[in-house]
Amino acid sequence: MLAKLTLIDQSIKRRLAFYSFWDFCLWYDEAFFIKRTFLHQVAEAFQDLYDKYNKGIAIKISVSMPPRAGKSYITSLFCAWWLAKFPELSVMRNTCTATLFRKFSYDTRNIVRSKKYKQAFPYIQLADDKQNIDGWNLITSKQVAYFGSGVGGTIIGFGANIAITDDLYRNLDDAITGTYNESVVRWKESAHDSRKEKNCPEIFIGTRWSKRDIIGRAIDGGRIDNQITIPALDKNCKSFCEDVNSTKYYLELRDGNNKSAGIDETIWMAEYMQEPIENKGLLFPLRELKTFNIKDIKAENIEHTSIFIDPADTGGDFYAALQAVIIGNKVFITDVIFNNYGTDINIPASVELAFNCKANYVQIEGNSGWVLAGKNVRALISERMPECNVRIVKTTTNKETRIFTQSAWIKHNVYFREDYNTSREYMAFINNVTTYLREGGNKHDDGADALVMLAEYCIRNLRHLWQG
């Protein structure tokens, strides 16, 4: 009876592995993945990419985490799983060197050859005449199943239905050396991008070395739909996964021990904490922002709801609208509008944002030519919510001074969604705020400016919540 139950259990797991990528990971290497549950969010992001591709939607994902975490392993498994789901299509996976490309190709090919894989996908077979690690086929492939190269290599004659960059930089020097980085960017935009077929999703795997590297440019350009960033130490200075490396190991690596000094701070922050080297001068570094789980916000506990709108004047190109709810003496940013679509789209969207959350107060920055936009918002909201207080506020003090002055209050009292990377606009808002430079010279400050509007309103009108 026990043997029969075991067979039934294995049959269920095998069937689940066909439909769910995470279940496939557990099926293929349960001992590894059961100890590294942080990889579940990577698997979910890959699953979402697959589900959307099935609906004709191509999205882009970035994954950054410390060395030895398993990001390339789970990507190899996804390549094999993807080919099982689309046995006629092609995977392109490029990396920093031809040697590393061949290793990843070898690993992925061996997954497809493995007994475990064949038990889940018995119909998938390698072509007898094309199994070279530089590019191999399935018997069902129309072009090639898996191909790619190292940076600088030639990719000729193949089209990719999914495009993956996996560690395009060997180290920090590669990423911050201007001439080398530009050569990588040019290669990616020519050799890599030219191979993408229509409606091709993309995965960017790699360390967050610099805001000017491949991943940094994609994030700052708003081209990433789902950004997964996992630092070595969490906010409590605990290891993100003791199975990868212990808290003690990371603390000694960062600070050193009684025998040696720690790792260079720049390398520590980039390679292990996934904060680009430029982040040292940031006013709102990601690690200093407080976060919350949206499921913990209960409507009956909300005491006040406000909307703060910066219509994107000369300070930047983005329209920012923040939905803020207050519970006790904590402010939670529950939703945002953050894009450059224009006021014809964003004004109605802001009205809906205010209406759906039954806002008590709406404030719009009315500098420059945005007074008319503010009046339009006020008229539309007043028509649907006459009890809502809508104000158009002009500011006269220097914007950078206001942002710097209120930064400590914002970091102490404002909470941001921990699942921000599931919303493209919320993610763009977080990226905008967390790249604001302390020394000034910021091209886009719309997210920070909207937060200052929120802070000044709370300090001016709700001061009693933060007293006593």
Whether residue 74 contacts residue 205, with contact meaning beta carbons closer than 8 Å, is answered with no
Span 368-394, pLDDT tens digits: 667 777 788 888 888 899 999 999 888
Task: Name the more confident of 410 and 130.
Answer: 410
* pLDDT higher than 50, residue 247: yes
What domains are there in the chain, each with its CATH number? 35-229 (3.40.50), 290-466 (3.30.420.240)
Amino acid identity for residue 305 in this structure: T
User: Which long-range contacts link 284-289 to residues 24+ away (Cβ below 8 Å)?
Assistant: 284/407, 284/410, 284/411, 284/433, 284/434, 284/436, 284/448, 285/434, 286/229, 286/430, 286/434, 287/231, 287/235, 288/411, 289/411, 289/414, 289/416, 289/430, 289/433, 289/434
Distance in angstroms (rounded) separating the CA atoms of residues 407 and 117: 52
Task: Name the more confident of 443 and 405.
Answer: 405
Q: What percent of the chain has pLDDT over 90?
A: 58
Residue 249: pLDDT band with limits 50, 70, 90: very high
Residue 314: pLDDT band with limits 50, 70, 90: very low
Tokens of 430: 């977080």
Average pLDDT, the chain: 88
Residue 8: pLDDT band with limits 50, 70, 90: low
Distance in angstroms (rounded) separating the CA atoms of residues 319 and 450: 10
Span 39-54, pLDDT tens digits: 999 999 999 999 999 9
Cβ neighbors of 122 (< 8 A, separation 6 or more) are none
Residue 111: pLDDT band with limits 50, 70, 90: very high
Question: How distant, in Å, are the alpha carbons of 67, 97, 168, 316 from that of 171?
Answer: 12, 12, 9, 33
Kindly report the number of other CB atoms within 10 A of residue 280's CB atom: 13
Span 224-239, pLDDT tens digits: 999 999 999 998 999 9
